[in-house]
Every structure is written in C-alpha cells, then in structure tokens.
Amino acid sequence: MSEVPATDPTARREAGAASSAASPAAAAWGAAPLPPGAWLGVLGGGQLGRMFCQAAQALGYRVAVLDPDESCPAGMVADAHIRAAYDDAAGLDRLAQRCAAVTTEFENVPADSLRRLARSRITTPSGDAVAVAQDRLAEKSYIQAAGVPVAAHAAIRCAADVDACPDALFPGILKTVRFGYDGKGQVRVASRDEARQAFGALRGVPCILEALQPLDHEISVVVARDLRGRAVSYPPSRNVHRDGILALAVADGSVPAGIADQARGHALSLADHLDYHGVLCVEFFVLRDGRVLANEMAPRPHNSGHYTQDGCLVSQFEQQARIMAGLPLGDTALLRPAAMLNLLGDLWFDAQGRRREPDWAGVLAVPGTRLHLYAKSEARRARKMGHVNILGADAAQLRERIARVSAVLGLPDADA
C-alpha cells in the first residue's frame, strides 16, 4: 500500500428517515457544508471515479482515490492516489484520515470497507445499501418492500430448486446472485432442462431465475438523495443494449409522461426505503402493456446518466460531490435533448483485428458532440473506453446526429 500525488423534476422530501444518531452522516445533517479545499475520497479508480474527481475538483475540492492499480483512470487525475486493496485496513484508515467524506464508484467494493469508513467519516452510500445491490435476491426483496413491482422470479440455490420452479418462469433468464454485470453471469433458458444445464455451467453458485417479459423497451432513472433525505431525479433515459452492455442512452423527452412519472416515483420510493444517501440509478423494463417493472439498481452514477454531463446544468457526478460536501442538490432539468453513445474497445480494431485509432476528428465534426475518453492504457473488446455525448435542438436532430456519429465509428444505427 502506498500513496502518491496525481501525475498528471424535482425535490422529493425536506427530511428523510433518521439514521443512527451517532453516525457521521447523521451528524452532518446540521453541519455547515465542507469548504472548498476539503478532501473527498472515493473507493475505486475506474472511469466513474475519474469523472467524479473532475466534477469535485471543479467545485474546489481535493480528491483522494483508493485503488490498487497504479495506472487507474481516476488515479491519473486525483490529487492523491492511495495504492491499496479495497479491503486493506491501513489504506482505508489513511483515506479516512485525509478525507471528510467518502464514496464508491462501483458496487462490488467490499461493503465492510464502507462500514469501516463510516465509523468516522460521512460515507455515501452506506455499506448496507451497497450490500443490498451486491445480492440480486436481497435487491429484489428491497425493491418489492418499497412497493415497486418486479418480474416474477425464484431463488435457485441447488438443482432441486430448478425442479420446483413454477412453469410460469419459463422462458426465463438465469442470473448469478452476485458479481454479474454487463451481461456476465446471465443465461437465457427456454425450458427447465436448459435451466438445469445453465445452473451447472454456472458451477452451481446461487442464482435467481427471472421470467422473461413482453418487453417494449428499457429505461433508467438516476436519483440523487442527500444526507437529510431530500431527493431529486433526472429525466429517464431510453436505453439500447448490445450483448448485455449499454450501447446508447437517449434522454429526449420521448418516454411518455405516465411511464416517466411511474419510473421516477418508483426510483424515489426505493431511495427512501433504503434511506439511501448518494447517487442511485434504477433500471426499468417497460412492457408492451405499459407496465413498468424495476430490473436492478446501481448504488453509484451510471452509464445511462452520462448524458447529464452535457445535457443538464448539474451532472450526476457533481450531485455526488454536492451530497458528500453537504451542498444543496443541483438542477436536474434537461437543457436540450441528449444522448450517450458508449465507446467499447472493439472500436480500436479493424475487421482483420489490427489495432487502429477511431476517427475522433470525424466524430467531433458532427455538431453537438462532446468526447469523453477514460485514458485507459489498453483497448480490449467489450471494455468501456469512453463515451460520446450528443446534443440536438430537438429529438429529430438528435437522432440524426446519433446516426452520423455511429456511421463515423462504424457502429450500427441503434434506435432507442
């Protein structure tokens, strides 16, 4: 473990449910905001941590990142980089000594690390909230307890559980309970026999079987909830996935008002139920009959919310910093129709597998585009390397620009 300097719409509640009166987060309710120059900390050195650093620094704060990778994207821009494992007690204590408040940039950080930090520092989100998001079964239970509908499902802990599943769960998707993301740890199964085979292929780890839904499209909502329980939500984005990875998120007002209101209400209810502090993304299935079902949540800023960097006055990353510092929540209104186009490592290879640099000049020649690259040292297929935010005067112009950028990059023209 070592530490080095960096080298290079709408308010919800005025007060939330009380946390432990002894917790630093609870004590911070009545405290003055952290002044510029104070230190904020983040567990995780990936691209989300990098964008958090940049947003916090724009507000005048200094940022320390804890991550074991000496060349992590966030460490390159942070004011200090503590090189340590996420469960390294000495590293965590050093982060706590330096920083007044700490957050995380990914949900698979050990929940106990956040609990350790929370003994002495404002920690958003809490280790308990992150632990819920790390377990698909616990997540489903919390979502339902908040009064938010989910798809029919069953726990699969052994082969006998597959045999006991109701027929209504087929066809379905078998997912590992833990550590699944970007399509990993998920298998579509048409029948009980296929589910048995898939469970074996997943090495018998605890799973959840969810019934496939008559899906029309997918949307997500990003919520920001502060230490006093006040919350705001961003306009929902309509999302397109390829191979289980988000390819495009479009926030252009095309989600019908009734569906948007349902989704935003559900996301805010879930944040209230969890007594959540920080930025939370909830992904939803919109069914062909108009019903809205919660799919999963991410206790952090999310790919689908990257459009807020250029499409809103205050981005999801600035909200994260504001909450930690005790500042007022920012405006979430959409300034112009906006979209986020994900850039995966596949773009760095031609049809013959030879490495190449994408045509960034061609991308930036399209009006209304802003390029965000993550400074990752190596491009790999399916690895998130950056994104392009695209703005338009209206939905039609936005889609025309999405098509132009996609053509420059050789991507299929995805219609959200």
Q: How many helices (H) and strands (E) does the chain have?
A: 14, 19
* Sheet arrangement for strand 153-156: 153-156, 207-211, 172-176, 186-189
Q: List residues forming the annotated binding site for ATP.
A: 136, 175, 180-186, 218, 241, 295-296
SS3 letters for 42-68? EECCCHHHHHHHHHHHHCCCEEEEECC
Burial class (CB in 10 A: 0-12, 13-18, 19+), 196: middle
Task: Please choose, from the candidates 290, 312, 291, the residue with its C-alpha nearest in 3D space to the C-alpha of residue 301.
Answer: 312
CA dist list (Å): 117 to 32, 95, 159, 228 = 21, 8, 39, 20
DSSP state of 101: E
CA-based max dimension of the chain: 61
Q: Measure the CA angle with vertex 172, ends 171 and 177; round to 5°.
A: 160
CA distance 150 to 161: 20
DSSP one-letter string for 103-167: EESSTTS-HHHHHHHHTTSEESS-HHHHHHHT-HHHHHHHHHHTT--B--EEEESSHHHHHHS-G
Q: List residues forming the annotated binding site.
A: 136, 175, 180-186, 218, 241, 295-296
Contact yes or no for 254/396 (Cβ under 8 A):
no
Burial class (CB in 10 A: 0-12, 13-18, 19+), 5: exposed
CA distance 303 to 203: 30
Please name the amino acid found at residue 47: Q
